[in-house]
Amino acid sequence: MAENLKFRNPAMAQNIASKIKNLASQTEKTKICHVCGTHEWTITHFGLRGLLPENVEVIAGPGCPVCIVPAAEIDEAVQIAQMGIVVTCFGDVLRVPGSKMSLLDAKAAGADVRIVYAVSDAVEMAKNEPQKQFVFFAVGFETTAPSTALEALGKPPRNFSFLVSHRLIPPAMELLLGVGDLQIDGFIAPGHVSAIIGLKPYELFPRVYRMPTVVAGFEPIDVLMSVYMIVKQHVEGKPRLENEYPRVVKPEGNLRALEMMRKAFTVTGGNWRGIGRLPDSALQLKESLADYDARLKYGVHVEQGKDILLGCECHLVIIGKIKPAQCPMFLTACTPEKPVGACMVSNEGTCRVWAKNVAVQS
């Protein structure tokens, strides 16, 4: 599509940037938080922060689904793999540190851990190798949860089960508002999560917290436009919910996907790495699907793990309190090749995004 290029048009970017600058001069500062690893990638990769005036800051919140999986749940996956069960997962989960080891370490020690592109690939494997037991480690926000739901409801083979570690984004956004010294002035809401959940879950942010909230896409112009819309709301003092990404996000979301999630999961409290326990922020399989719940099937339950290693500042990076470069380990003891913290592991992790685009940043 020729339109693709228009969403990256440099002249348009400059035009929006100067509009932002003019608007922002009417207010002391505007601090904007996004909650999506892909937004951080767009912002960092295209050097968008360099286009913004000094009094407009964009920080990265907990938007990396892999980074926030607590060590205890990695430990559960490792335990299952060590029982001789095939553990399947998305590629970026493999190196996330557990309390003692990652799934990659377990694999190196002989466990059968396999990367899949989609949960359906894992189900296929289980069908093709009926003599083995398979577990899919289901990590991710509302974007991947519907595919887990779909397969769980679709009568997977008996030798297949799920270790569900899905988390929900709106409760994490609400948490950020409670972190006193963050002092956020607006939210960029994640476009692809919103494609599933629609606009309704964000309504409380402008209404209850008077927080400008704009659902945005992932091209550079999308992000700049959302910054412009938030600064405008902030200057006008009229917080509201706007959708910058209507080509993908419908107000009602994806009803079919939401229905699948409602049928397969109950919402429960869950731990987030570096953050702690958030009420109503995690999904677990319904009782009717208990046969497919790997925790029950194999009796694994790790209450607490070691989330943050000594010296690692992931817990501050995850909530946007510090920038990766402010961590003493960043690109010294902790690198993309040998990550110490979860934020350096995933392509959506803030530290890794910064490490890979450091030339653009500096």
Partner 1 sequence: MDINGTKANVDFGQGVLREVNVSLVEAKVGEYVLVHAGYAITVIEEKEAKETLSLWNSILETSPE
Tell me the Cα Rg of the chain.
21
Q: Does the CA dihedral 279-284-290-294 come out positive or negative?
A: negative
Residue closer to partner 1 (CB basis): 7 or 298: 7
Under the binding rule (CB under 8 A), the answer on residue 33 touching partner 1 is no
* Contacting residue, 56, 119, 184, 302, with partner 1 by CB under 8 A: 119
Contact partners, residue 268, CB within 8 Å, separation at least 6 = 280, 282, 283, 284
CA of residue 330 relative to chain centroid, distance: 21
Under the binding rule (CB under 8 A), the answer on residue 121 touching partner 1 is yes
The label of the residue with tokens 């892909």 reads 38
Least spacing, CB of residue 38 vs partner 1, in Å: 11
Least spacing, CB of residue 278 vs partner 1, in Å: 23
* Contacting residue, 82, 99, 147, 357, with partner 1 by CB under 8 A: 147
Residues in the chain: 362
What string of DSSP letters covers 163-222? EEEEB-HHHHHHHHHH-GGG---EEEEEHHHHHHH-SGGGTHHHHHH---EEEE-SSHHH
Least spacing, CB of residue 116 vs partner 1, in Å: 8
* Contacting residue, 150, 182, 316, 333, with partner 1 by CB under 8 A: 150
The label of the residue with tokens 């925790």 reads 295
Residue closer to partner 1 (CB basis): 79 or 233: 233
What does DSSP say about strands 276-285 and 265-272: parallel, antiparallel, or unpaired?
antiparallel
Least spacing, CB of residue 254 vs partner 1, in Å: 6
Residue closer to partner 1 (CB basis): 38 or 350: 38
Under the binding rule (CB under 8 A), the answer on residue 135 touching partner 1 is no
Q: Are 144 and 264 in contact (CB under 8 A)?
A: no
Residue closer to partner 1 (CB basis): 46 or 330: 46
Under the binding rule (CB under 8 A), the answer on residue 240 touching partner 1 is no
Residues within window 62-91 making contact with partner 1, judged by CB under 8 A: 90
Residue closer to partner 1 (CB basis): 16 or 101: 16
Residue closer to partner 1 (CB basis): 44 or 254: 254
> What's the CA gap between 224 and 227, in Å, rounded?
5
Under the binding rule (CB under 8 A), the answer on residue 6 touching partner 1 is yes
> What's the CA gap between 146 and 258, in Å, rounded?
7
H or E stretch at 123: helix 119-128
Residue closer to partner 1 (CB basis): 140 or 201: 140
Under the binding rule (CB under 8 A), the answer on residue 241 touching partner 1 is no
* Contacting residue, 22, 183, 268, 326, with partner 1 by CB under 8 A: 22
* Contacting residue, 63, 70, 97, 140, with partner 1 by CB under 8 A: 140
Residue closer to partner 1 (CB basis): 125 or 175: 125
> What's the CA gap between 255 and 261, in Å, rounded?
10
Structure tokens at 303: 């209450």
What string of DSSP letters covers 280-312? EEEEEE-GGGGGGBHHHHHT--------S-TT-
Under the binding rule (CB under 8 A), the answer on residue 266 touching partner 1 is no
Residues within window 207-226 making contact with partner 1, judged by CB under 8 A: 221, 225
Rule CB under 8 A: which residues touch partner 1?
1, 3, 6-7, 12, 15-16, 19, 22, 90, 117-121, 140, 143-144, 146-147, 150, 192, 195-196, 221, 225, 232, 244-250, 254, 256-257, 260
